[in-house]
A and B are shown apart, each in its own frame.
Chain A
Amino acid sequence: MEKDERIALFQKWFSDTIPHNKALGLKVIGARRGFASMQLDWREELVGNPETGVLAGGPLTAMLDGCCGMSVATMLKTPEPFATLDLRIDYVRPAEPGKPVIAEAECYRVTRSVAFTRAFAHHGDPKDPIAAAAGTFMLGTKGKVTRAQSIGEEAIGEEAIGKESIAAEDKA
């Protein structure tokens, strides 16, 4: 699948059809195996302090959660429902008013039950972060698998990892 096509697919299932991500106006700007990137444009409604115009922490939290979740989806060859188990956010410095925020998340390890992710939010220079996040996700949670959660094989293909390889890795 071509890069643009892949991004459009992730945009559809991780932003356009997830009501809160859509409400925030999250734009998917990158997606590959183990990696997800989104952009959040500054809006008056998302401001915490109207005197400074600085974004509230909440929109960043929601974006980082969504972006970490998307990085998990890029790793799963076998579709299964998953949910955030915990999420830690360090607010390193204030976001600058009017500037778009970019989040980049990495899913660096998937086990049978848990996926581990980390992410940064920045204004274009990943070396100068606004926020840092670490999130873990519980795999195989109850309920039906969503379209977003089952995107891995279609979008990432053979590179997405199947449960078989995880089981083999566990044994090794």
Chain B
Amino acid sequence: MSALLQRLAEARKAGDVGRLAEAIPYARWMKIAPENGTGELLTRMRYHDDLIGNTFLPAIHGGTLGAMLEMTAIFHLLWETETETVPKIVNITVDYLRSARPVDVIARATVTKQGRRMVNVFAEAWQDDRAKPVATANAHFLVKSSDDAPPSL
């Protein structure tokens, strides 16, 4: 069992999804963590100056939004589905809708289609107004351990 799945079991026992991020160095570095304080599973990327991509606007780097949407989908699959393996990302398409200001970004994922081996996930990210998303993404993940696929996580 991977350390992440072990962490998942501990997090479930404690009812605190936030513990999942501690097992992923990149999530810690980016200050990306899931939270379920309101009963809804959300993922938050805490603002810090290293996220900036355009100092003139200023705006958060598009790549970091793609990265946090990908993490949002992974946390969702781990927490909300009966996964026995760490999901392996196959691809992701990110649409950029608005420039993201230098404040926290929050995101939520939903499973569009759950297959036996493949899952299609939609994720959207916003800042203070949920009705005005800054970016959305669709991603495919392999969720069966025997498959030969790129384990990004």
In the complex, whether B61 has a CB less than 8 A from a CB of chain A is yes
Which B residues lie within 8 Å of A49 (CB)?
2, 4, 24, 86, 151-153
Q: A47 to B123: give the CA distance in the assembly, Å.
A: 22
Interface residues of B in 1-43 (CB under 8 A from A): 2-4, 23-30
From B23, B27, B67, B150, contact of A92 by CB (8 A)? B150
B25 contacts A61, C-beta separation under 8 Å: no
B27 nearest in chain A by CB position:
A56
A46 in contact with B50 (CB, 8 Å): no
Number of chain B residues close to chain A: CB under 8 A: 44
Whether the pair A61, B63 counts as a contact (CB closer than 8 A) is yes
Determine the chain B residues whose CB is within 8 A of the CB of A87 once the complex forms.
62, 66, 93-94, 96
Taking the complex as formed, is B51 at the interface, i.e. its CB lies under 8 A from any CB of chain A?
A: yes
In the bound assembly, the distance between CA atoms of A84 and B153 in angstroms comes to 26
- Interface: B52 (CB within 8 A): yes
Interface residues of A in 35-50 (CB under 8 A from B): 44-50
Given A20-B51, A48-B152: A62 and B86 within 8 A (CB)? Answer: no
Task: From known contacts A49-B2, A64-B63, infer whether A56 and B152 are also in contact, taking CB-CB under 8 Å.
Answer: yes
B55 within 8 A of A: yes
- Expressed in whole angstroms, the minimum distance between the Cβ of B52 and any Cβ of chain A is 4
- The residues in B between 37 and 88 inclusive whose CB is less than 8 angstroms from any CB of A are 49-57, 60-64, 66-68, 70-71, 86
Q: Chain B nearest CB: distance from A79 CB in Å?
A: 12
Task: Assess the B67–A58 pair: CB atoms within 8 A.
Answer: yes
A128 at the interface (CB under 8 A from B): no
**Is B49 a contact of A62 with CB atoms below 8 Å?**
no
Contacts A20-B52, A146-B55 given; indicate if A57 touches B64 (C-beta within 8 A).
no
Q: Which secondary structure dominates chain B's binding surface? A: mixed
Residues of B within 8 A of A85 (CB): 95-96
Task: Specify which of B23, B57, B95, B151 is in contact with A143 (CB 8 Å cutoff).
Answer: B57
| Contact status of A58 and B66, CB under 8 A, knowing A85-B96, A91-B90, A91-B152 | yes
A59 close to chain B: CB less than 8 A: yes
User: In the complex, which residues 3-55 of chain A have their Cβ closer than 8 Å to any Cβ of chain B?
Assistant: 17-23, 44-52, 54-55
Q: B89 at the A/B interface (Cβ < 8 Å)?
A: yes
Contact at A58–B30, with CB atoms within 8 Å? Answer: yes
Pick the contact of A20 from B2, B61, B90 — CB < 8 Å?
B61
B25 contacts A89, CB within 8 Å? Answer: no
Q: Does B110 contact A (CB under 8 A)?
A: no
CA gap between A23 and B99 in the complex, in Å = 20
Shortest C-beta distance, A137 to chain B (Å), equals 9
B52 to A19, Cβ gap below 8 A?
yes
- Per-residue contact bits, chain A 79-96, to B (CB 8 Å; 1 contact, 0 not): 000011111111111100
Nearest first, the 9 closest Cβ-Cβ pairs linking A and B are A62-B63, A58-B67, A56-B26, A20-B61, A65-B63, A23-B50, A19-B52, A45-B29, A61-B66
